């Protein structure tokens, strides 16, 4: 779901969300948006984590990140459910597609795999 969240955000923003020149630079870009992960979040992402100190950065709100371009609060809510550090707390594909932002598609007759 992380990758899907990146794709959705990139489609809306018009540019890669976490563009970096290296893996470390990309991690810095992620931290700039999502804030500094807690030690628990780091261990949830990588149990073999070697102790490294991250700078203390406060998460950016999605509305500030999108800077008013193609943004509604529901979009930030959806992306936030996909782009979170702890893998087990990310939305499932079904949960993401059930999000209210897709209600107009369902109203037009699109049917989800389970018949909804």
CA distance 24 to 29: 9
Higher pLDDT, 81 or 49: 81
Provide the number of structural domains found in the chain. Answer: 1
CA distance 11 to 70: 10
Residue 64 forms part of a structural domain = yes
Residue 26 forms part of a structural domain = yes
Give residue 70's domain range. Answer: 2-107
Q: What is the pTM of this model?
A: 0.76
60-73 mean pLDDT:
70
54-66 mean pLDDT:
79
Residue 63 forms part of a structural domain = yes
Residue 116 forms part of a structural domain = no
Q: Tell me, what CATH number does 58's domain have?
A: 1.10.510.10
Q: Are 102 and 25 in contact (CB under 8 A)?
A: no
Residue 24 forms part of a structural domain = yes
Residue 113 forms part of a structural domain = no
17-28 mean pLDDT:
87
Task: Return the pLDDT at 84.
Answer: 93
The token duo for 73 is 């609060």
Residue 58 forms part of a structural domain = yes
Taking alpha carbons only, the member of 37, 51, 52 closest to residue 84 is 37
79-98 mean pLDDT:
92
CA distance 90 to 96: 9
């Amino acid at each position: 779901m992380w990758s899907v969240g990146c794709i959705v955000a990139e489609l809306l923003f018009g540019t890669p969300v976490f563009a970096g020149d290296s893996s470390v630079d990309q991690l810095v870009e992620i931290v700039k948006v999502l804030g500094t992960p807690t030690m628990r979040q780091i261990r949830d992402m990588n149990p073999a984590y070697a102790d490294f100190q991250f700078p203390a950065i406060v998460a950016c709100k999605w509305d500030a990140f999108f800077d008013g371009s193609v943004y509604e609060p529901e979009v930030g809510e959806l992306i936030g459910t996909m782009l979170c550090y702890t893998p087990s707390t990310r939305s499932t594909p079904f949960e993401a597609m059930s999000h209210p932002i897709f209600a107009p598609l369902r109203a037009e007759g699109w049917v989800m795999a389970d018949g909804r």
